[in-house]
Structure 1
Amino acid sequence: MKHRIVVKVGSLAVTDEKGGVSPVKIKSIIADLHELKTHGYLPILISSGAINTARGMIKKPDEKNLMISFQQASAAVGQPLLMKAYIDVLAEFNWPCAQILVTHEDFKERKRFLNIRNTINRLLENGILPIVNENDTVSFEEITVGDNDQLAVMMTEASDAEKLILLSEADGLFDKNPKEAGAKRFEEIDFRDDFSTVKIATKTSVGRGGMETKLKAVRKLTPLGVDVILGTFLEPSAVSRLLHHKAGTIFKGNPIRQKSRRKSWLSTMVKNDCYVVVDEGAANALLDKQTSLLPVGIKKVQGKFKRGEVIQIRHKSQVLAVGLTEYGHKELDLIKGKKSPEITELLEFVYSKVAIHKDNLLLKKDEL
């Protein structure tokens, strides 16, 4: 039986800290994945590192407003160099690969999402290793996936993978910064466990993610029935040792896997740190009557998002649901707390009388 797994490697797992690709690090990862392939695993590799590969090749601007174009240019230079390093190493194993560059928009739009899924299926059927990265050259604030941990979550759902392995410097989740004396590693965490109070270390000097984004990835996948394993890339056979439970932390997925593909899609497409806060009446209506969310029940709008993106619905400090919003953050901020007749006076285009329709809404209790 074949086992699909998604493996995400950060920038420092494939590049040097001072910049430039590291063929030695890449070979260590590929050798391990190839060994797993011979034992029935079908890996999908999510690889960061394009920007750091080109470090020093593009002059860094002094102006802050030019940093995005600097990173985009660096990605344009670094991505082919990174892929060449992968191709050279994979040739030693007679293992072909394919490059897939995506943005958040590709997963949000249903046809493009299905194209990604179908492409992954054909590649795996033909023994080809998919290597996926965010298309940093065209990404910007409104369409960026945000970090490759989030990208790994969406690719895990799209490919129907059994497990997600996140490789970082830390060898799992610890009760405090692992560099501090006496830090203890969690070996296994159930999908229902609350680990929000755990102190986490900051991100690396070259990455955009960090432990916080990895834990957000865990919270999106484990309720759906997917195991997420977190461990270090610094040890030999980094992926194998995690799959064999020799180290790291395994976040156990719900034993009852989510069967609804739409609900799975909604759960994994949530934009980090984008949400609305609702009042008591709206919260009760959502939970007890499973109604749509009306603008009148919204008290606060947080984050930047567009119409058609998936955001959280919160009441006080609790996440009640996630859903596909009918309006962007600017429009919702204008009509929050307003009744339907008032909306037509505030907006040039009224797409809907509801903020999130009940058919595009997933209550957190329905994940369990």
Structure 2
Amino acid sequence: MTIHQLADLADSAACPRLVVKVGSALLVGKDGAPRREWLTALVGEIAAMRARGQEVIVVSSGAIALGARRLGLAKGGRGSLSDAQAAAAVGQIALAGLWAELLAAHGLTAAQVLLTLEDLEDRRRYLNVTATLGTLLAAGAVPVINENDTVATQEIRFGDNDRLAARVGQAAAAKGVLLLSDIDGLYDRDPRQPGAVRIPVVRGVTADIHAMATGGSSSGLGSGGMTSKLQAAEIAELAGMALAIIDGQPLLPVATALESDRGTLFVPRGRKRARKAWLGGRMRLRGAVHVDAGAAAALGRGSSLLAAGVRAVDGDFERGDAIAVLGPDGTTLARGLSEYDAAECARIMGHHSREHEDILGYAPRSALIHRDQLVLI
């Protein structure tokens, strides 16, 4: 079945596996204490999903905010990286205990999973996450996932749980991702402006869609804004998942949004093969190559990327690293794993394959990026 409206996310046939992301501002009050009444109601909704046959994965923010209150840290624990890491170390225990307690009241077992960016960017570790989530769900547990903020560095982290939720959904082969936010969807401009209109359905995240987004979180507690949600939607659509943004503030947020059909649904594209979906969702790219119009057209026909069509090389990448392929106008056309390092790419760019052996001193590979290691964006 295809998900084409918000209500389909509550259908166990259309969406047998769902990721629900909860933001800090919803879970933690302005006083730094958990909003127990609201969270208790949400857990009841999750229990109802399980009762109708859906498997549920929770991606939960809130550890830093909870820990900051207990440690007495200013700025919600986000004044510095060291403050955030310390707050996360304390808050994660409280957060996990809260979910475990409330899920247990419905006879459900919570399973804590802390992830770093590298866990989902490295192919072997990604497959391990996939296997672990599959085993937990098969055993009837509810995985509760958060970024491992205690060890993540500023340079190597997701930075928001919107994109983490999309990547987790991809790893778990979910059919839908539900982002509970402090706003009820994507608007055509800043929703505080007069005449702003909510976009109910988005079929493909384009440059025009990105132009509608405003960065930053209005609450001051979270780390993501609409821009991060659109980036999550891009990851989801490449993986063949629907993603919805709904208002998480009502006491029963899921039922309220789905019954009133109020939110924004990003309709999925056709699901790609697992490896290509993983490539398309990667967030850390080591460099880029710029291609001419002929190479761009060939990629669109499903061809590999040949060095003859490359006009410039950016970055300091090695063979096997993920890089972007940029078109003549600078837009990203594809991502893939390079068969050469950056210096070699620079030497053979613009040259036909028959010239490569003389340039490099060894027999060339079949392509700069083989089509099996490349995904169009």
State the TM bucket, normalised to the shorter chain.
0.7 to 0.9
The offset of 1:297, in angstroms, is 2.3
Determine which of 27, 34, 46 is the counterpart of 2:59.
46
Counterpart of 2:284 in 1: which secondary structure?
strand
**SS state of the match for residue 55, structure 1?**
helix
Indicate the residue corresponding to 1:312 in structure 2. Answer: 324
- Give secondary structure in 2 for the equivalent of 1:98: strand
2:169 pairs with 1:156? yes
Equivalent residue for 1:291?
304
Aligned counterparts, 1:75-154, within 5 A: 75-154=88-167
Q: How far is 1:344 from its partner? A: 7.5
Q: What's the CA shift string for 1:254-293, capped at 9, x where partnerless?
A: 2xx3251111111222438975544446535544572336
1:42: Cα distance to partner? 1.3
Q: Which amino acid aligns with 1:252?
A: V
User: Quick one: structure 1 residues 90 and 263, their matched pair in 2 at CA, closer, same or farther if it must change by over 3 Å?
Assistant: same
Superposed CA offset, 1:118-174 (max 9, x none)? 221222222211001111111114431332111111111111111111111110111
Letter in 2 for 1:202: G
TM-score of the two chains, using structure 1 as the length reference: 0.82
Hey, what's the Cα distance between the residues in 2 that align with 1:192 and 1:137?
A: 32
The CA distance in 1 between the partners of 2:144 and 2:189, in whole Å, is 33
Report the CA distance between 1:109 and its aligned residue.
2.8
Q: 1:344 to 1:48 in 2, by over 3 A?
A: farther
Matching residue within 45, 50, 59 for 1:32: 45
Change (3 A) 1:136 1:201: closer
Separation of aligned partners in 2, 1:268 and 1:289? 19
For residues 17-67 of structure 1, give each alpha carbon's deviation from its aligned partner in whole angstroms, at most 9, with x where no partner exists: 343433233213212211222222211001111111112416569xx9x92
**Which of 247, 263, 278 is 2:262 aligned to?**
247
Structure 2 counterpart of 1:349: none
* Other-structure match for 1:231: 246
Decide which moves more: 189-198 or 85-94.
189-198
**Structure 1 unmatched ranges of 5 or more:** 346-351
Q: Which runs of 5+ in 2 are unaligned?
A: 1-11, 349-355
Q: Distance in 2 between matches of 1:131 and 1:52?
A: 17
Inter-partner Cα distance in structure 2 for 1:121 and 1:95:
16
Secondary structure in structure 2 of the residue aligned to 1:312 = strand
Query: Which residue number corresponds to residue 222 of structure 1?
Result: 237
User: For residue 338 of structure 1, what is the aligned residue in structure 2?
Assistant: 347
Check whether the contact 1:15–1:52 (CA below 8 A) recurs between aligned residues: yes
1:225/1:337 CA distance change after superposition, 3 Å: same
Distance 1:182 1:85, change over 3 A: same
Q: Tell me by how many angstroms 1:223 deviates.
A: 4.2
1:262 — aligned with what? 275
Rounded to whole Å, the distance in 2 between the matches of 1:268 and 1:215 is 13
Question: Normalising to structure 2: TM-score of the pair?
Answer: 0.80
Kindly report the root-mean-square deviation, in angstroms, between the aligned alpha carbons of the 2 structures.
3.4
Deviation at 1:226, TM superposition (A): 1.5
Indicate the SS of the match to 1:191.
coil
Q: State the percentage of identical aligned residues.
A: 32
Shift of the 59–158 alpha-carbon distance from structure 1 to 2, 3 Å rule, reads same
* Per-residue CA distance 1:191-214 (angstroms, 9 max, x = gap): 376513324353231222110011
Contact 2:241 2:271 in 1 (8 A): no
Say if 1:20 and 1:54, in contact at 8 Å, map to a contact too: no
Matched letter for residue 164 of structure 2 = L
Say which of 160, 184, 188 aligns to 2:201: 188
Q: 8 Å contact 1:294–1:353 — kept in the other structure? A: no
Q: Contact 1:298–1:336 (CA<8 Å) still a contact in 2?
A: no
Equivalent residue, structure 1, for 2:212: 198
2:319 and 2:148 map into 1 onto residues whose CA distance is 22
Asked if the contact 1:58–1:74 (Cα under 8 Å) also holds between the matched residues in 2, the reply is no
Structure 1's 59 and 198: CA in aligned 2 closer, same or farther, altered over 3 A? Answer: closer
